[in-house]
Amino acid sequence: MKDKIQELVERRKHLELGGGPEKIDAQHRKGKLTARERIEALLDKGTFTELGLFAKHRCTRLGMDKKELPADGVVTGYGDVEGRTVFLYSQDFTVMGGSVGPVHQKKMADTAAMAFEARVPLIGLYDSAGARLQEGSENITFARVFHQNVRCSGVVPQIAAIMGPAAGGSVYSPALMDFIIMVKRTSFMFITGPATIKAVTQADTNNEDLGGSGVHCRISGVADLEAEDDRDCIAKIKKLLRYLPSNCFESPPRIHPKDDPLRLCPKLEEIVPADRKKVYDVHLVINEIVDRDSFLETKPDFAKNIVTGFARMDGRVVGIIASQPKVLGGTIDIDASDKGARFIQILDAFNIPVITLMDTPAFLPGINQEHGGIIRHGAKLLFAYSSATVPMVTIILRKAYGGGWSAMGPKELGIDLVFAWPTAECASMGPEGAVDVIWAKEIRSAPDPESARKKFIEEYDRDFSTPYLAAALRVIDDIIHPADTRKRIIQTLGMLKRKDIPRSPGKHRIMPV
């Protein structure tokens, strides 16, 4: 028995070294942790249980029969993050560049399947050169992993951390997960690499310019958060998990509130100017109404005309969707529509209330927007609100015009309660545009057209875009003092905590493309 046990100990120790000391040193020189170091940093000490350590590839061609690939280049198993169980896989770049073969794929897919069955979050730590070409047709597809990612979607939270290369078909696994975190300078994602692009299109590029964190956090919107290094990436995973439940059948973890739920917010009167032509930063509004220091923004550098993120109110997790007047005047464009719609669906899947702060003049006009499909993209926002069943509260801060009003959480899309500040302007069109249509003849024939136009704008503001008319028509539920905003939201969420909407018949609704 002692000999058998000693053999086991030696085998495990050998395999746990991955590609060996030289490859580990090379990983460190790049400023990267190894696959096992990442797991150690993420999980609570002593909680990791590895599965599949003795997995081996089956390829005998091209000299592969002479290659030992410990754990087949991916470390898989489960453990605890701050006391909560997660399943995870961590690709090992020290083992043949973390390349993916059939056994490697199966380990990842099995890990996702177990997360689904155990009803706990799935964490993927990606660092791979791509498909292992030596394994040929056996390795032609990553579909078994994709299938499990889709199976987990909306059932358990899935977080992907891109901590090195992710290229080719393998990028679709993280793309199918809920959140993607990328590391500056050391991570990149693309379908076809610089060499292929050069061969096909003659265009010169490099890994960073083609698919680095700056590209996907600012331009494409593929990634949700950007980390400074591996340890910062791990910290961001932990922070994100604090706002998510273990599965769709639970509520997110509540913490003991450190902030008075009845706290008034008088600063809001100074933050938001009554003049609709003046801009402000909606982050200041968000930070004023949520529990202190609780806001975690998602996709902060993409589609900045809409702000999305998690926060806490009275210790409970909420999701924030907010117009950003500081960027494009708070108009809604293609990217903002996609960003907002996807976030609402994540909130709805994981039982997180939706708080909307509306201050938008409309969808962004323009030929590029129309040709880019603003109709179908904007419809996603309408779809997401209409299909959500979690508690939803909308606050109209200032502008609520036309299509913008329809898209940013109006009562007619199933919002539970809609409150307006006295500065709210609720109308089918902005005053200036409406006046130019309604009183065009009177303005042209007036002795002083500009003075006449100004008078008609004042009339329109007074008689048509006032929140009191909207309240009279019951398209808003109440007009509130700005300082009461936090208190009213928390009271409403307390009233809605047992909200239950039965599922409608049919397998599922169909998201606009």
Segment 476-493, tens digit of pLDDT: 999 999 999 999 999 999
DSSP string, 137-164: GGGS--HHHHHHHHHHTTTS-EEEEE-S
pLDDT greater than 70 at residue 2: yes
Rounded mean pLDDT of 150-166? 97
pLDDT greater than 90 at residue 287: yes
pLDDT greater than 80 at residue 139: no
pLDDT greater than 80 at residue 503: no
Rounded mean pLDDT of 328-338? 97
Rounded mean pLDDT of 88-110? 94
Q: In the prediction, which pLDDT does 237 show? A: 98
C-alpha to C-alpha distance for 457 and 463, rounded to whole angstroms: 10
Is 462 in contact with 427 (CB distance < 8 Å)? Answer: no
Domain 268-428+465-495 has CATH 3.90.1150.10: no
* CATH tag for 2-241 (out of 3.40.50.720, 3.40.640.10, 1.20.81.30, 3.90.226.10): 3.90.226.10
Q: In the prediction, which pLDDT does 138 show? A: 62
Rounded mean pLDDT of 230-234? 98
CATH 3.90.226.10 domain residues, the chain: 2-241, 268-428+465-495
Q: Considering Cα of 89, then 95, then 97, then 103, what sign does the dihedral take? A: negative
**DSSP element (H, E) containing 124:** strand 122-126
Which band of pLDDT confidence, cut at 50, 70 and 90, is reported for residue 253? very high
Rounded mean pLDDT of 263-285? 95
pLDDT greater than 90 at residue 37: yes
Write out 201-248 in H/E/C secondary structure: HCCCCCHHHHHEHHHHHHCCCCCCEEECCHHHHHHHHHHHHCCCCCCC
Rounded mean pLDDT of 137-151? 82
Q: In the prediction, which pLDDT does 59 show? A: 78
Rounded mean pLDDT of 423-451? 85
pLDDT greater than 70 at residue 140: no
Rounded mean pLDDT of 443-456? 85
CB neighbour list of residue 244: distance below 8 Å, 6 or more residues apart: 121, 157, 252, 317, 350
Segment 355-392, tens digit of pLDDT: 999 999 999 999 999 999 999 999 999 999 999 999 99
Which band of pLDDT confidence, cut at 50, 70 and 90, is reported for residue 502? confident
Token pair of 392 as six digits: 């939803």
CB neighbour list of residue 105: distance below 8 Å, 6 or more residues apart: 139, 142, 144, 145
pLDDT greater than 90 at residue 429: no
Rounded mean pLDDT of 431-459? 84
pLDDT greater than 90 at residue 67: no
Which band of pLDDT confidence, cut at 50, 70 and 90, is reported for residue 64? confident
Q: What percent of the chain has pLDDT over 90?
A: 78
**Chain-wide mean pLDDT for the chain?**
93
Residue predicted with more confidence, 132 or 56: 56
pLDDT greater than 90 at residue 217: yes
Largest CA distance in the chain: 107
